[in-house]
Amino acid sequence: MAKITSKSLLDVGTELTIDTTAKTFTLIAAGDLVAKDGVTLQALYSKFVQLWTQPEYNEFPFPMYAIDAKSGQFQFGTDGQTFSGWKPATDATRQMLRDGGWSEYSAAGVLQRQYVGIVSLGDVSTGAQMYFQRNAVDLPTDFTFDDEVNEGIQVFGDASNGNFDKRTYFKAFVREQGKKYKSSSLADTGQTATGAYTVNVLLSNEDDLKITAADGAMTGAPYSGIDVTYFGTDQSKTIGAGSYPFRIVVDGNNATLEQIYTKVQYLLRQDTDIDAGAGNVIGKTANELMYFVGDTLVTTQGVFIENLQANDINRVEFFDHNNVKRFYPYSAAGALVSNAVLTAGGTGYYRMYFVDTPTGDYGTADAITVNDKDGLPISGAIASASIGFTFDYDGNVQGGRTAGTDAAIVVVAGNNGSAKPVVATGTISRSKGITISLVAEQDRAFI
């Protein structure tokens, strides 16, 4: 079956019943009418026009008025001149009306209800459950049917029909696991309010190749340690040589950018509070926080990600609270890989020096320890077989060296009672994949 667009497919007693006493009509999911597909308001109007040529109907007021079928503007309970109080008998009937919005008037001419006809533009994945807000603080509400949307949503009700007026805001969402997210508000199609007419929402989704795991993995490492905190005031975050204001902070838990993105997208599909702080932010209606452009992760306005992996800092871009793009200076990155005698007991040591600089060379009292991207010495205990390091390739001028050039380095290491002292040489280039191997002999002579 498909959406009914012709009056000829509406038969009284099968797809449609009319109660002239109660002045109501009912659509029935039978015959040619499938509830999900529905019937256009124009087809229903045309059927009423046809029926009202007959005495059994035209002795009663005409049920509805068509202002403009193209823009989807209809009214029930009036013929455009007088009021009668005709209306749909049930909400199930209202949910089957397509391609328009409508107002419902009492016999006294009082506006009782108003529905906006929400029609989505764009393709979504089969079975996608789209949802909406009629107010920025409302909880999410599912559209009646899945897949693309074409449905009347009540935006006004008098004291007997909900007692609300929500005609100044509308936002719709599509967020499915493994798909890219999209939301659409009135401004996207040039509208400023809803009413008894058609409003399009721009919603589509496609496969999201950056999702790294299914929902079931979110309770395990590293996902369980990734969270989002919302702040009401600026949080100053250092990026390179500057500090900038942010209001939303994501703890990346030393996960990859793809893993961080996966957890954040998961949170944005939850109908519970996702704020790790003191606030209350419902995930499903929260604004999107980040997206990928190629392999670069870009945050939305005011979102900062901390505790990133060293290898990832140069493929992330931030927009601060002032909506200014910020990014880290290029940071070379690599790993010091040690053999078993160096890692034994976690008591080994390492330190990285420049081979030569204008003010000091390795092997002299003026030897300069290499600093990482944050200005901290690359040195410490050998607690694991692989220890990551970073280097401010574009900004490091230690010892008078020239920034933005390769750096010849020496790494010294040892482990008293386990490994003999060892020296390894290498070069820090503009790369994220530098590996320096530290291979020491077992020390059987230390006492």
Spell out the residues 6+ positions from residue 80 whose beta carbon is closer than 8 angstroms to its own.
Answer: 65
Residue 335, beta-bridge partner list: 388, 435
Say how far apart CA 183 and CA 288 lie, in whole Å.
8
Peptide bond into 222 cis (omega under 30): yes
φ, ψ of residue 273 to 5 degrees: the values are -70, 125
Supply 254's token pair.
């030393």
Q: What residues does each domain of the chain span? A: 215-326, 331-438
What is the tens place of the pLDDT at every residue in 76-129? 999 999 999 999 999 999 999 999 999 999 999 999 999 999 999 999 999 999
| Residue-level pLDDT at 374 | 87
DSSP 305-329: EES--GGGGGGEEEE-TT--EE-PP
Using the CB atoms, write b or e for 75-108: b if 16+ within 10 Å: bbbbeeeebbbbbbbeeebbbbbbbbbbbbbbee
Spell out the residues 6+ positions from residue 369 whose beta carbon is closer than 8 angstroms to its own.
Answer: 351, 352, 353, 377, 378, 379
Helices (H), 52-119: 55-58, 91-94
* Positions in the chain short of pLDDT 50: none
3-state secondary structure 262-276: HHHHHHCCCCCECEC
Supply 189's token pair.
């199609």
Say how far apart CA 148 and CA 132 lie, in whole Å.
13
Backbone region of residue 122 per phi and psi (left: phi > 0; alpha: psi in -120 to 50; beta: other values)? left
φ, ψ of residue 361 to 5 degrees: the values are -115, 155
- 331-438 belongs to which CATH class? mainly beta
Supply 345's token pair.
């007991």
Q: Which of 64, 174, 68, 77 is CA-nearest to residue 127?
A: 174
User: 3-state class of 301 per DSSP?
Assistant: strand
| Residue-level pLDDT at 368 | 98
Q: Which of 336, 308, 318, 332 is CA-nearest to residue 391?
A: 332
What is the DSSP-derived secondary structure letter of residue 200? E
Helices (H), 321-439: 340-343
Say how far apart CA 429 and CA 418 lie, in whole Å.
32
Radius of gyration for the alpha carbons in the chain, expressed in angstroms and rounded: 33
Q: Strand 97-98 and strand 227-239: pairing?
A: unpaired
pTM: 0.81
| Residue-level pLDDT at 11 | 98
| Residue-level pLDDT at 251 | 98
Q: Which of 224, 192, 433 is CA-nearest to residue 335?
A: 433
What is the tens place of the pLDDT at every residue in 338-347? 999 999 999 9
| Residue-level pLDDT at 212 | 95
Backbone region of residue 424 per phi and psi (left: phi > 0; alpha: psi in -120 to 50; beta: other values)? beta
